[in-house]
Amino acid sequence: MTTLTETHIAAAAPVWRRSALVLAALSAVFATALLVGGRFGLMLAIGLGFGIVLEGLRFGFAGPWRAMILRRDPSGMWAQLLSIGLVTLIALPLIAASQGDLSGAQAPVGFAMIAGAFVFGAAMQVVLGCGSGTLVNAGSGNAVSLVALPFFALGSFAGAYHLFWWTGLGALPVIRFSGWQGVAVTLLGLAAVAALLWKLATPEHRRLPRRLIVAAGLLAALALFNLIVAGQPWGVVYGLGLWVAKAASAAGADFTGSAFWQAPASVARLKQSLLTDYTSLTNIGIVFGAFLVASWRTGGLSQKLPRLPGLAWIAAIVAGFLLGYSSRLAFGCNVGAFFSGISTGSLHGWVWFASAFAGSVYGVKLRPLLKLEPKT
Amino acid sequence: MTRALTATLAVVGLAVIIGLDAAATPPNPYKAPPLLALGSGKAPAGGFCGALPE
């Protein structure tokens, strides 16, 4: 029989755990601000916010694309478009009005960029985790994402190592939409995609749940804070590659064969603390934020790990590497290219979207073949 | 085994990376930039996946 005292102790345990989680998150932000400066503390806080919103409100990128492909359910994709549109409304005029202290995610469209986005789209459906999704899933205890994440980082480093060779295959000049004209073009494009999804959707799925509207708004606000604080949009993959580059550099690796890693800006960053790299800070925040939410939920981490065959784990490793490598060629992942590219007026964001979605159609078919659907 | 193990591994792994990096390249609070990039008058210099390094 459970006594009254035991009941009180059981009820108090989550309160202590949750208080400790909040205290740890606040301490990490303040420690970062003290160690490297207030701007970097703010960036970690923004990253924590991304992780909390993505995990807490179950806002994703790979999952909604899969839902659209398999079930003709566009709700998650509408939420993505809504969030991108909200950022566009403020980010593009802000960048136009700034005195060069804010920049967008602008990159050229090219052969390698298109192929990279296609491969990324396929790989993200194999592991069911995109750039931000792999971080969120790892933080909330998804074993496949935890295995994929280090190889994602390795792939990002290797992709950057070879990036200039790939861009040399051919690319257009950077094409961007700016100012209020850019806002109009981008919002029209987003509305056209939303309408196409409406037409393709099954009638019972033609609705946008309030949870996703709230998440889209919060994510947009955090992305704008990211731009205002860092001067650059939200990104993921650069930071992952930098972690490997720093480790390799510390081990005495020679980067003379890479135009990317021996560029003066890269050399300078290799000598600086990770805590001064914006994408590293938001990546760290996303993992910790997702962990915080999963630990906060009652039973959030009590789910048993999946029983998967060896082929599935090999697929997770290969797909993880491909996620990192391809996203460098594509000038970003679902965050840096799709979300930030489109919302800051870069044509490459739109091309990335089309190419990655085509890749996702194949990735959805590959996932069960690679035994990544867990046995119950 | 539950997700508690893998989630803890993720967080501890990141903490180890941050710790090792801090030992190799100690943080310097005296080189901190202005709190916000907006209005700072300085061009953004952070690494980004959509940009090639200079």
Domain range summary for chain A, segments of one domain joined by +? 13-369
Read off the pLDDT of residues A327-354 as tens digits, 9 standing for 90 and up. 999 999 999 999 999 999 999 999 999 9
Q: State the smallest CA–CA distance between residue A264 and chain B in angstroms.
A: 6
Q: State the smallest CA–CA distance between residue A191 and chain B in angstroms.
A: 25
Instruction: Calculate the CA A97 to chain-centre distance.
Output: 27
Read off the pLDDT of residues A195-241 as tens digits, 9 standing for 90 and up. 999 999 999 999 999 999 999 999 999 999 999 999 999 999 999 99
Burial zone of A168 (CB within 10 Å; 0-12 exposed, 13-18 middle, 19+ buried): exposed
Residues 6+ apart with CB under 8 A from A231: A101, A102, A103, B37, B38, B40, B42, B43, B44, B46
Q: Which residue of chain A is at minimal alpha-carbon distance from B44?
A: A231
Q: Which residues of B touch A263 (CB under 8 A)?
A: 52-54
pLDDT of residue A6 exceeding 70: no
For A325, the token pair is 């490598």
Q: Which residue has the higher pLDDT, A375 or A195?
A: A195
pLDDT at A148: 98
Q: How far apart are CA A244 and CA A251, in angstroms?
A: 10
Using an 8 Å CB-CB cutoff, list residues of chain B that contact chain A: 1-7, 9-11, 14, 17-18, 21-22, 24-29, 31-54
pLDDT at A373: 85
For range A110-129, the mean pLDDT: 98
Tell me the one-letter amino acid at A27.
S
**CB atoms A238 and B47 under 8 Å:** yes
Q: Which residues of B touch A265 (CB under 8 A)?
A: 45, 47, 53-54
Measured CA angle at A45 (ends A93, A305), to 5 deg = 115
Read off the pLDDT of residues A272-288 as tens digits, 9 standing for 90 and up. 999 999 999 999 999 99
pLDDT at A375: 59
Contact call for residues A90 and A224 (beta carbons, < 8 A): yes
Q: Which residues of A touch B23 (CB under 8 A)?
A: none
Q: Which residues of B touch A272 (CB under 8 A)?
A: 25
pLDDT of residue B39 exceeding 70: yes
pLDDT at A69: 98
Contact call for residues A30 and A41 (beta carbons, < 8 A): yes
pLDDT at B45: 87
pLDDT at A147: 98
Q: State the smallest CA–CA distance between residue B42 and chain A in angstroms.
A: 5
Cβ burial A291-307 (10 Å sphere, 16+ → b, else e): bbbbbbeeebbeeebee
Which of A82-96, A192-206, B37-51 comes out lowest in average pLDDT? B37-51
Q: Which residue of chain A is at minimal alpha-carbon distance from B41?
A: A101
Query: Across chain A, what does the average pLDDT equal?
Result: 95
For range B6-33, the mean pLDDT: 95
